[in-house]
A and B are shown apart, each in its own frame.
Chain A
Amino acid sequence: GQSLEQPSEVTAVEGAIVQINCTYQTSGFYGLSWYQQHDGGAPTFLSYNGLDGLEETGRFSSFLSRSDSYGYLLLQELQMKDSASYFCAALLISSGSARQLTFGSGTQLTVLP
């Protein structure tokens, strides 16, 4: 089956840097996305890696290594508002050629003052 592994919880202080890792075992892998979800809110898109390497978007960066089936999300200059759940999601090609996301279980990030 398709599976993505990420830590369940991470805690860091305001202003710090935190890295959330994601390893995957999938077939039909196309790319890796990251989504943020605040309690009671909708998942919102943060980043996508279709190729190996680093993608930078403001304070957030994401990395992908296809050979290692591994990616990470790097959050810099942490702010209290970054406290949320972060999901890695693999974009996969299904047997019917549909492209669809399979999500990990999420990492709950708590930012302390």
Chain B
Amino acid sequence: EAGVAQSPRYKIIEKRQSVAFWCNPISGHATLYWYQQILGQGPKLLIQFQNNGVVDDSQLPKDRFSAERLKGVDSTLKIQPAKLEDSAVYLCASSLGQDETQYFGPGTRLLVL
């Protein structure tokens, strides 16, 4: 069974630029999550989708971050414009349902200069 795929794996941008991350969850997983993990901290949930609908985005900085889940499968997370403090690993995870085990992708390491 293929795992959660993410791209790109690494991204370096300058502040005020925009960037987008892509996630392809495990086939059949209805729930998709985007997390931000700052060095030395645990993952912090940004947004949670159930199929193609948003379940929770209370911790998403909506003035600069946006996310969508296309047709209830792939998802993209965008930052526009980026700030220095956005430097982090962005992890995508998926699960069969909200109570089920979450499977994480390898993450995208973002460095904002």
> Is the A/B pair a real complex?
yes
| Chain A residues packing against B (C-beta within 8 Å) | 30, 33, 41-45, 48, 87, 89, 91, 94, 96, 98-106
Sample of 8 more A-B contacts, CB < 8 Å, known A42-B107, A94-B56, A99-B98: A33-B101, A43-B93, A45-B101, A96-B55, A99-B99, A102-B45, A105-B41, A106-B41
A106→B45 CA distance, assembly (Å): 15
Mask, B92-105, CB within 8 Å of A = 1, is 01000011011111
Residues of A within 8 A of B40 (CB): 105-106
Q: Let me know if B43 and A48 touch, CB within 8 A.
A: no
Dominant SS among interface residues on chain B: loop
**Cβ of B37 to closest chain A Cβ, rounded Å:** 8
| Chain B residues packing against A (C-beta within 8 Å) | 4, 33, 40-45, 48, 50, 55-56, 58, 91, 93, 98-99, 101-107
A106→B41 CA distance, assembly (Å): 7
Residues of A within 8 A of B4 (CB): 42
5 cross-chain pairs, A with B, having the tightest CB-CB distances, nearest first: A103-B42, A99-B98, A42-B104, A98-B55, A98-B56
